[in-house]
A and B are shown apart, each in its own frame.
Chain A
Amino acid sequence: MKKTILSTVMVAVFSLFALTTFAQGTIKGVVVDAENGEALIGASVVLDGTTIGTVTDVNGEFSLSVEAGDQQVNVSFIGYITQKLKVKVSGGQTNNLGQVKLETDAVGINEVMVLASVAVSRKTPVAVSTIEPQQIAEKLGTQEYPEILKSTPGIYATRQGGGFGDSRVNVRGFDMRNTAVLINGIPVNDMENGWVYWSNWAGLSEVTRSMQVQRGLGASKLSIGSVGGTINIITKTTDAEEGGSFYSGVGNDGYKKTSFTLSTGLTETGWAISLSGAHTKGNGWADATDFEGWSYFASVSKRWTNQMLTFTAFGAPQVHGQRSSTQSISDVKDPAKGLRYNPEWGYKDGQQYNLRTNFYHKPQMSLNYYLTISDKTTLATSAYYSFGTGGGTGNYGSNQNAFYSYKKDGQIDYDRIVAENIANGNGGSTAIMRASRNDHNWMGILTNLQHELNDRWNLSGGLDLRHYVGKHFREVTDLLGGDFVLSTENKNNPNHIAREGEKIGYWNDGIVTWQGLFGQAEYSDGALSAFFAASVSNTGYQRVDYFNYLNSDPAQTSKKVNHQGFVTKGGANYNINKNHNVFVNIGYFQKAPLFNAVFINYVNEINKDAKNEKTMAYEIGYGFRTQDFAININAYSTNWKDKFFRRSIRQPDGNYYQANVQGVNALHQGLEMDLKWTPAENLQITGMASLGNWVWQNDLNDVPIYNENQELLGTVDLYIADLKVGDAAQTTFALGANYELFEGFKIGVDYNFYDNLYAKYDPTGRGDIAKKGVQPWKVPAYGLVDTNVRYRFNIGQFDATLYANIINVFDTEFISDAIDGSDNTWETAKVYYGIGRNWSTGLRINF
C-alpha cells in the first residue's frame, strides 16, 4: 500500500517536470461585460481540460503561460456564459486576444438592474454589499432568507419566534418599516404599514440571482425614503442557456426540500422560457412550528433587435405554525419548558392543535418591456400585479382568554374549551379559532427613461404608480365544538350568529394610491462619477369600514387623505487610481405618514395633522482594491426626526384629546468595514466589522398640547435622551474562510459576533422622570460559528454538487430578540432564544 502511494507521487512529480520541458508561449487579454464593456474582475481563464489557469486582475486583464500549439481557453465568470476560445500559441510569442466579451447568462438581467438601480462598485457612491447566488447556495442551509445578509455590515437578522418565514432584518438599527425591499425594482413593503413579510417570499432564495444591501440613502431613484437602507433583490430572469437542475435535501427536525429548474435557453427565434419549483417541509426547530411551503417561478422572454418583452411570475404559498409569544428567561429555563418551548398550542382529541398558524400566498407577476429608442435613449417599463391571500389564526370569543388560562401541562387545554363550548349549547361557542385575514390587490407600473446627453452626462427619469387595496377581516375557522359564535361588532348585523367562514371582529379596506415622479442626473468623467437625484410622491389613503358604520352611512367610506413626500440626494465617487477610491453622499427626505398614523383608533377617524417623518443622512466611504484584496470602509450619520408619536390628553370636559407630538428624534452613526482577501487561489478570507452608535437624541420637556379651542390641556414629557436604540445589535463582526481543499471540494467556516444588542422598547412610552437615563436591558453578546461544505463531482455525464451546512456548530445558547421589561433587567425581559444547532445537506444535479 505504502509503495503504491510513493510510486503514484513519483509519477505525479515527474509528470509536472515533464510539462516544463515543452516550448512556452503567452496568452493575454481583457475580459469585459459584453453589454456595457465594463471590466470583469476575478473572471477565471483556464486551459481546457486542465487546472492550469489564472484570474483577471482589477482591470479585467489576464496573462497566462501555456505550451505552444493549438489550445483552448475557457473564460468564465459567475452570471455569464462561458466563452471557449481556440488559440494558436507559438513558443516564446505572446498572443493578445484583445477584449473577451462575456454575455450574461440571464436574458434581460442588465435591464432589470437598471430598473432596480443596482449599485456598481467604484461608481455608485453608496455603501453596499452584494450577495451572489453561489453564496446563497453554499451558505444558506436551513436559515431564513434574510439571514444570508447576516455577515454584511449594519445588518441584524433574526428568526424571531422561529416559524418558517417569521424572520426580520434591521439595517443600521432601523426595522423593516424603515428598510425598503425591492424585488426586481418593484417595492414590496406593505403599502399600509411598511412591513415586509418574508414568509411571502420563503421560496425566493431558490431563484435569487443577487441580493444587494444598499445601506443608508441607497441608489434607488424611487421616492421611497427608507431611513435604514434598501435591500435590492434581483431574481433570475430567463436563462440564456438550455438546461436545468434538480435538488433534493434533508435537515434536522424533519426538514426536506426538493426543487428543480428547467430552461429552454435562448432560441434562434429569440424566445426563452425558464421554470422552477420547490417544495419545502419540516417540523421546525421550536415546538409546533411545522411548515410546508411551495414555490414556483416562471419567466418567458422574447427578444427582438431593439426591444424585449419578459413576463415573470413567482410565488410561494405556505402554511406554518408560529411561535408569536416571547417568554421570560426563567420560564425558558424551567426544565419543563426549555429553549424550544412554545405556549401557543395544545392537544385536541390527542392531536396537536396550533393557536397560531400563518398561511399566505402572494403571486407576483410582472411584464417588463425594454425598448432601445436610439443609441442614446432607452426605455424600461415594468407593469406588475400582485394579489395576496392569507392571514394568521388566533383566538376569539367572549371567553377568548381561555386560551391563556386553560392550561394542561403548560399547553392550551383545547379539550376543556371544546367541552365548555358544547356545554354552552344554545349560547354558542365562547372561545373559538379565527383567522385574521390580510388580503390585498396591488398593481403598479414602473418606468424609467434613460438618455445619454453626451459622453459625460446621463439623464434618467420616470414614474412609479401604484394602486393598492388591503382587505382586513376576521373569519371563523373552527367553532371548537359549538354550533356558532355570537359576533356583536358589525353595526349592520349587531347580533350575528356566525358560523365557519363568516366574518367577525372587523372588516375594513385600506386603499392606498401612490404617484411618484423621479429624475436623476449622472455625471461620469474618467475617475469621477457623480449623481443628483430628486423625487416626489403623493400617497393617497382611504379607508372603508364595513363593520363600524352602517351601510346607509356615507361615512362608511372615508374621505381620501393625501400626503406628500420627497427625496433629494446626491453623491460623488472618485477613483484616485486603480486601487483607491473615495465617495461621499448626502441626502434629505421627508416620508409621508403610514396608514395607521393617518387613520387612528381602527375607525375612519382621520388624524388631521399627521406629520411627515424627516431624515437627514450623509456618508463618506473609502475603497481599496487589488487583484486579491478588497476592502470598503465607510462612516455614516443618519438623523431621523419627528418619529410618529401620538398622546391622549384629558380635556376640561373629561373627554380625551389626541395630539401629534413632534420632536422624537434618533441619531444613528457608525463605522462599517468589509473585506475580501484571496491570499491563495484556493483560499478566501472574508471579514466585516460594524460599529454603530444609535441613540434617541433628546428629551421632550413640557411640550404644550392645545385643543382646537387653543386651550392648554397639559404638557408632554419624554425622557429618552441618549437612550440606546434597541432591537438590533449595534456592534457586529464577521470573519469567514473558504478553502478549496482539492478541486471541487470547498469548506467554509464563518464566525459572526453580535454585541450591544438592547432590548426592544417603545421610546414614546418613556414618560417617567424616575427612569430618565435608564438604558434598556442589554442582551448578552454572542458569537456563532457556521460551517459548510460544497463538493462538485460528476455522476456520469451530469455535474453534481453536494452541499452540507451546520448552522450554530457549537449549539450556542443565545438570545436573539428581547422586549424590555418593567425594570429593564433580564428578570423582566421577554425573549426569543436563537435557534440551536441546525444541519442540512443536499445534492444538486445539473443537466
Chain B
Amino acid sequence: MKRATERMLKRHLPKIGELHRIHLKHKNFNEMKKILFLTILALGFVFNACEPMQDINSELDKALDADNAKALFLKDLQIAPAAYTLTDEDYVLSSNESVSKYKNFSNSVLPKDYLPEILNKKFTAEDAQAMMVSYNFYSRPVKDYDGAYEISSDDYSSMGQGYGNFSDKDVAEALIGKLFDRIMYAEKAGAEKTAQYTLYAKKVTRYIQVNADGTSEVVSYTSDAVEVTDAIYEATGNGKYKNFYRITNALEDLAQYAVDNGTAPVVYAALVYGNYLDTYIVYLYNGTNWVAKQSVMSVTEELNYALNANDITQSYWWADPAIKISLSGDDYAIYTETSKYSNFDLRGSIAPGTDRGKLVEMIGGMLDANYNAVEGQQYLVTYAYYDGSNGLASIRIIKEGGAWKEFEG
C-alpha cells in the first residue's frame, strides 16, 4: 500500500506542482473584470433560478387544501357503477319521511326531487357520467272499468276454473296473466289492459246504502257507515250466523229494516257470507309477458353526474334531458379538418382552433348529418380533441332557429 502511494505521488507530484503556476495575465485585466461581472451576474441567476417551479408548486400546495376538502368529501363516496338498485338503507338517507318510511317514491314524492339527494350522498363520478338507477315507485294502478276485458265462461274453463269465478285473488292474477299471454296482443312494452273477473269471497264486509224511498244498492266504502249489529242480524232473521248469506239478502233485508225503523237514508256495513265480486286487475305488457301491475313498481332510469370542478361539494346527480352522443369516425369523416385524426384540432389555424363557436357549429353539422338532430333538443356530445395532447371532452349544444349554439343551463 505504502509503495503504491509513493509510486502514485512520484508520478503525479510534478504535475500537481503545475497547478500553482496559474498566473493571470495582466493585459487581460479588463476582460477579467468583465468576466467577474458576468460570473456574478450568472451566479445571481443560479440562486434565482435554482427552483424554477417554486411559485407554481406553492400555488399547487394551496390547491392542495382544496384537494383535501375534496378528498374529505370524496372519502365517503363510491365511484358510481354502471347500474345500481336502491336498497332499503338507501331510502333511509332521504330527507323525506315518506320515502324513508315506505322505501319508495310516488307521485306526491317525486324521484325527480328526492332521488338525487340519496345518490349525492353515495356516489361520485366523472362529469356527465351516466348511471342506471333502479328504485321503487308507488302508484295505484288506474283501472279501466269501461274498457276492461271481461273474463268469459270459456276463459274460466280454459283456465281450469269449473265455477266461472275465482275464489283466490293470487290464483286469478297469475292465471289471467297467462291467459293474456295467449290471447292478448300488445304492440310494445308498457301497454296496459284491465281484466274484469268474478271473485267468489266468503265473509266480506259490504256497504249497502238504503235510500229514503226504500231502494237499496251496493256502494263503496264510506267512513260514516253504520255497522250491522247482532240485534239487526237478529231482527232481520240472520241471527244464527250473524251475516247475510248472499248480497241480495243483505240488500232486501236491510232495506226492509231501515224502512221499518225509519232510519233511511243510511249506509250499513254488513258482513256477507257468499260474494260474487266484480274484480279488476291492471295488466302491464313488459315486452314479453303480461304482468299484474303492482302499486309499488321497480323503475329504472338513467341519471347523470354534473361535476362541479370548482367546488366538488356542489356536484349532483340529475336526470339529464339531453341526448348523449359520442362522436365516431363516421362523424369526423364529414370535415376535412377532423377526418385525418378523428378529432378536433384546438390549437390554432386548423378549424375549429381556439374558436369555440366554430366547434359548436362543426359538431352541430355532424349531428345534422348523422343523427337527424331536431330543434330545441339538448345534445350532450363527447368529442375527441388535440390541443398538444389527445383528450376527450363533452359539450352541451342545442339547435334553435336553425342555428346550433352552446346550451346555457
Which A residues are closer than 8 A to B by beta carbons?
Answer: 1, 4-5, 8-9, 11-12, 15-16, 51, 325-327, 329-330, 333, 343, 397-401, 403-405, 488, 506, 601-603, 626, 628-629, 631, 645-648, 675, 677, 679-683, 685, 687, 689, 733, 735, 741-743, 751, 753, 755, 761-768, 780-783, 785, 810, 812-815, 819, 821-822, 826, 830
Contacts and interface: CB of A to CB of B under 8 A. Distances in A.
A812 B328 contact: no
B17 interface: yes
Contacts of B52: 780-783, 812-815
A682 B22 CA distance: 8
A467 to B, nearest CB: 27
Contact of A765 (B21, B31, B348): B348
Interface stretch (B5-13, B81-89, B161-169): B5-13
Contacts of A399: 328-329
A424 to B, nearest CB: 14
B273 to A, nearest CB: 64
A783 B50 contact: yes
Contacts of B353: 762, 765
Contacts of B76: none
Contacts of B170: none
Given A329-B56, A333-B60, A765 B349 contact: yes
B182 interface: no
Contacts of A601: 336
A687 B35 contact: yes
B39 interface: yes
Nearest to A753: B45
Given A404-B390, A506-B340, A398 B38 contact: no
Please name the 9 residue pairs, one residue from A and one from B, whose CB atoms are nearest each other, closest first: A762-B348, A765-B348, A819-B388, A782-B52, A325-B389, A680-B22, A783-B49, A830-B388, A780-B52
30 contacts: A4-B5, A12-B17, A329-B56, A401-B326, A403-B390, A404-B390, A404-B392, A626-B27, A631-B31, A646-B349, A648-B351, A677-B31, A680-B21, A680-B24, A682-B19, A683-B22, A685-B35, A733-B42, A733-B45, A742-B19, A762-B347, A762-B353, A767-B355, A781-B45, A781-B49, A785-B46, A814-B53, A819-B388, A822-B354, A826-B59
Given A687-B35, A812-B51, A326 B46 contact: no
Given A780-B55, A812-B50, A8 B6 contact: yes
Contacts of A677: 28, 31, 35
Contact of B329 (A397, A743, A766, A815): A397
Contacts of A755: 45, 49
B15 interface: yes
B35 A782 contact: no
Contacts of B2: 1, 4
A819 B345 CA distance: 13
B342 A400 contact: yes
B367 interface: no
Contact of B354 (A16, A765, A815): A765
Nearest to A1: B2
Nearest to A765: B348
Contacts of B184: none
Given A16-B14, A647-B349, 9 more contacts: A8-B9, A397-B329, A648-B351, A679-B25, A755-B45, A761-B348, A764-B348, A780-B52, A826-B56
B240 interface: no
Contact of B60 (A329, A398, A629): A329
Contacts of A822: 354
Contacts of A603: 336
Contacts of A682: 18-19, 22
Contacts of B355: 765, 767
Question: Chain B CB within 10 Å — which of A397, A629, A763, A815 has the most?
Answer: A629
Given A8-B6, A401-B342, A404-B384, A16 B17 contact: yes
Contacts of B51: 812-813
Give the interface SS of chain B, mostly helix, strand, loop or mixed.
Answer: helix
A392 to B, nearest CB: 13
Contacts of B336: 601-603
Chain B's interface size range is 35 or more
B42 A813 contact: no
Contacts, number: 176
A51 B13 contact: no
A756 to B, nearest CB: 12
B16 interface: yes
Contacts of B391: 404
B278 interface: no
A830 B387 contact: yes
Contacts of A506: 340
Given A8-B10, A506-B340, A751-B42, A401 B384 contact: yes
A689 B38 contact: yes
A681 B14 CA distance: 15
A687 B55 CA distance: 28
Nearest to A783: B49
Contacts of B10: 8, 11
Nearest to A12: B13
Question: Chain A CB within 10 Å — which of B21, B52, B384 has the most?
Answer: B52
B60 A12 contact: no
A685 B54 CA distance: 30
B403 interface: no
B340 to A, nearest CB: 6
Interface string B381-409: 00010011111100000000000000000
B112 interface: no
Given A12-B17, A682-B19, A781-B48, A764 B53 contact: no
Interface in B46-70: 46, 48-57, 59-60, 63
B330 interface: yes
Interface string B290-313: 000000000000000000000000
A712 B39 CA distance: 60
B188 interface: no
Nearest to B328: A398
B329 A398 contact: yes
B5 A735 contact: no
Contacts of A9: 13
A810 B32 CA distance: 28
A762 B48 CA distance: 30
A158 to B, nearest CB: 14
A628 B26 CA distance: 12
Question: Chain A CB within 10 Å — which of B14, B23, B27 has the most?
Answer: B14
Nearest to B386: A325
Contacts of A826: 56, 59
A653 B340 CA distance: 26
A749 to B, nearest CB: 11
A733 B44 CA distance: 11
Contacts of A767: 354-355
A12 B340 CA distance: 76
Nearest to B7: A8
A15 B10 CA distance: 12
Nearest to A834: B52
Interface in B244-271: none
B192 to A, nearest CB: 37
Contact of B389 (A12, A766, A830): A830
A844 to B, nearest CB: 22
Nearest to A397: B329
A62 B211 CA distance: 143
Nearest to B10: A8
Given A1-B5, A762-B349, A629 B15 contact: no
Contacts of A405: 392
A688 to B, nearest CB: 10
Contacts of B354: 765-768, 822
Contacts of B41: 733
B149 to A, nearest CB: 44
A292 to B, nearest CB: 26
A814 B52 CA distance: 6
Given A764-B349, A783-B45, A51 B15 contact: yes
